[in-house]
Amino acid sequence: MDATLDSDRTRTSAGVDAVLPAPAEADERPPGSALGGYVLLRRLGAGGMGVVYTAYHGGLDRMVALKVVRDGGGAAGRTQTLREARALARLSHPNVVHVYEVGEASGEVYVAMELVEGEPLDRWQSAAGRTLRERLDAYAQAARGLQAAHQAGLVHRDFKPSNVIVGADGRVRVLDFGLARAQRTLGEDDTRPRALASIDLAQSLDGAIAGTPAYMSPEQFAGLEVDARSDVFSFAVALWESLYGERPYGGRTFEELKAAVTGGERRPPPAG
């Protein structure tokens, strides 16, 4: 596996594009730093959940995608993250990105994951010439991954096409199970028109919300505890979008989208 991942068509298994130019932050580690037996080689990107690096474990002679989770929930949040990531590490399924190890070092939680070369599903499915059969097969594989996780008692909470990777081998893998809990707050000015699909984690004024608004279920908008049914809703929104080129619920702002989803104001399928 090429540790540099230079292709702009490459995505790691850690849930961020390998070529993200996001600026470095104070809590990030320089190349060559060590964490939990891993040497960090290259920063791949950063998001609401943390920072992702390519890393190498000398004892195991293994390249991984190493996510260093940001401490957004204090001790309770770290405990929850460790518990859910360890549960995911026990899950072995061809359509779920494999978690090799979960640990805590220097007060930070890290997750070592399978490093996969490929494209996120949202980019893959929009490529010219992609057939309906190919898209349906990709979503069928993703559904099998979700089903396996649900049978193991895991809930994704943030299923969306960009959290699915289509490997160079053609195998579809779902990633970031159970790690999408609310870790930041939407202020009052955050209800202005935005690219709703790009807001990774949000918290409403009346309760915690985990997920990406464009794909969230009614119970997520309400800040309620979610189960596997919420993932099924998000999956259906993503599949609808792939089939029809638009999402079933409209809205230019967070509040408009919330009203459409919770009110069941679904668009009819486009004619033709």
| Residues annotated as catalytic (active site), given as ranges | 158
- Alpha-carbon distances of 185 from 45, 68, 201, 254, rounded to whole Å: 21, 20, 8, 13
Measured in degrees and rounded to the nearest 5, phi and psi for residue 74 equal: 65, -160
Taking alpha carbons only, the member of 64, 68, 45 closest to residue 54 is 64
Give, as one character, the DSSP assignment of residue 209: E
Question: Hunting for tokens 């190493």 — which residue is that?
Answer: 66
Residues contacting 205, CB < 8 A, separation 6+: 186, 188
d(CA 58, CA 38): 7
The secondary structure of 108-129 as a DSSP string is EEEEEE----EEEHHHHHTSTT
Q: Is 156 exposed, middle or buried (0-12, 13-18, 19+ CB in 10 A)?
A: buried
